[in-house]
Amino acid sequence: QNFDSTPAGIWARARAGTRLPRAAQRSKERAHGAASGAASASAMLEGFALIMMPTSAIMGFALATVGFTCWNLAVPLYLNLFAFHLFDALFLTVLMDLTGSLVLGYLYSRKGRVDFGFVLRFGPICGLVAFTSAKLGEPILLSHQKLLKGTVGYIPFLYAVAFLAKARTSLREGESGADAPDAFEHSKSSSIPLTARYGSSSDDEVFIAMGNGDAHDHADRPNDGDGHAKEHGAANGQADEHARGVPGLPHPAGIRVDSDDAWPDTSQERGAWLRGTLASVWYSPILENQRRRVSPAAMRAKLVSCAACMVGCGVIGGILYFGGGVIFVTVILFLFYHDDLPLVTGTGCMLMSCVCLGLMATFIDRPAVQLDSELPTYAALVLPCVMLGTALSSHMMLYLSRTSVLLLVSLVALVMGVLITFQRQIFAWAVVD
């Protein structure tokens, strides 16, 4: 383009000469910004994997010992170290608690270490209360979200001291044998029939009476020479286990086969099987063990107190998006004095899974909460580590002696307390500005 030598032409030539360089500079800046953003995201992902993968394994290990939730350590790390948005941090933490508790429940249930009767009684209450509290308590959470960046490391320290004291007492009593504990440990004075190990012989089964719901220990019932259990009177509603006419085929109560060609009525058999299944599912070893130790009035008071504590845990968990497994374990230990720590932990973690399911339901159809699109990538990094730590810890809890288990829980609680309290100093080198 030709320009004259007039002032207007000089100004036009100057504008034309600078227009392309300015446009190129803006394009260069945009390209640099995109490259910088990609590099920052890549560095963020690498740092997240470097820090959170081993930390998640530690949290999964702690979860299987006494139900320690990931919330105490994960939420401050996500908010302070990785600058997550509030609900991104809470969603990922609840997902970690849910995954760890379900894995632990599965592993412990295979060894008979989950009291599903207890979970069925109180789990739905906890989940419903947590869901309602999360919905109604969101303004409280948003107005105090800065408090979530703080730490509460003194709680694990208290558990460390308490379990260390229990381990010392156990060591003094000489309970440091090498044999693995039975699946449901119970007092010598208790007559509650409890299962031994998963997949063991029929002598370890729990028999539920169809008429009155009482449990009878098969191991205490003598067998006759043919291997059939002795017949109990049908008048008191107990199960008749004679298998007549068809060798090796057990028949429910009240159903008899008088000849080799006769078969029981399948509708009655299904009804008896259904009643027995429901009774066995509803049966709670923890509650039955306590019911035989205390008076009916005291048992009712304990049940009411337990229900109130479960509601309180649901309210706190709903407002703070807190799994609360360690609180459930503490309530069961305090109210029902059960010494089988894996059983109590497995039951408490299944209650925590009910709370986490209620909290996860709050993220459905919430337009006000926009979760980060990279959360699936973060979850894919931390969830397998949580599962690995949970599986390793559960195996140790099942096969160590009682004293060793108590010492392990004390050590894990101490490590969690140190990580929670001094996380700023430990991870200061990786703080995101």
CA nearest to 344, candidates 264, 289, 266: 289
Percentage, residues of the chain above pLDDT 90? 34
What's the CA gap between 382 and 378, in Å, rounded? 6
Checking if the pLDDT of 28 tops 60, the result is no
Across the range 226-251, mean pLDDT stands at: 43
Residue 431 three-state SS: coil
- Give the pLDDT of residue 147: 78
- Give the pLDDT of residue 429: 59
230 or 343: whose pLDDT is higher? Answer: 343
Rg (CA), the chain: 30
What's the CA gap between 270 and 24, in Å, rounded? 80
Residues 6+ apart with CB under 8 A from 265: 255
Angle, nearest 10°, between helix axes 154-172 and 402-421? Answer: 160
- Asked which of 259-268, 302-311, 330-339 is least confident by mean pLDDT, the reply is 259-268
Q: What angle do CA 284, 234, 205 make, to 5 degrees?
A: 35
What's the CA gap between 376 and 24, in Å, rounded? 37
Q: How confident is the model at residue 277 (pLDDT cuts 50, 70, 90)?
A: confident
Average pLDDT, the chain: 74
Checking if the pLDDT of 6 tops 70, the result is no
Cα dihedral 178/159/346/307 (nearest 10): 140
Residue indicated by tokens 């996500």: 78
- Give the pLDDT of residue 186: 38
Q: How confident is the model at residue 370 (pLDDT cuts 50, 70, 90)?
A: low
Q: How confident is the model at residue 206 (pLDDT cuts 50, 70, 90)?
A: very low
Checking if the pLDDT of 349 tops 90, the result is yes
Residue 216 φ then ψ, to 5°: -125, 135
Q: How confident is the model at residue 367 (pLDDT cuts 50, 70, 90)?
A: low
